[in-house]
Amino acid sequence: MYAVGRFLQIAGLSLPILAIFMQITDQVSVGKMLVMAVAAISMFYIGRILEGYAHS
């Protein structure tokens, strides 16, 4: 469970970087970039919760 939580945190931190590069190359609209940002925040938060449960 710790590894899954850590993976979600890393993915949540990597997704905004990917969204920025996609926006620079005009592959994604601003609305989709916002959705990616919300998804990244959710993934990071869920990963943090899972990691916390693994330590308990």
Secondary structure class of 45 (helix, strand, coil): helix
With a threshold of 0.75, does the pTM exceed it? yes
CA torsion through residues 21, 34, 10, 27, sign:
negative
The pLDDT tens digits of the residues spanning 2-48 come to 999 999 999 999 999 999 999 999 999 989 999 999 999 999 999 99
For residues 46 and 51, give the distance between their C-alpha atoms in angstroms, rounded to a whole number: 9
Any residues with CB less than 8 A from the CB of 1 and at least 6 apart, and which? 50, 51, 53, 54
Is a pLDDT exceeding 90 seen at residue 55?
no
For residues 52 and 8, give the distance between their C-alpha atoms in angstroms, rounded to a whole number: 13
Q: What's the residue count for the chain?
A: 56
Give the residue, 55 or 12, on which the prediction is more confident. 12
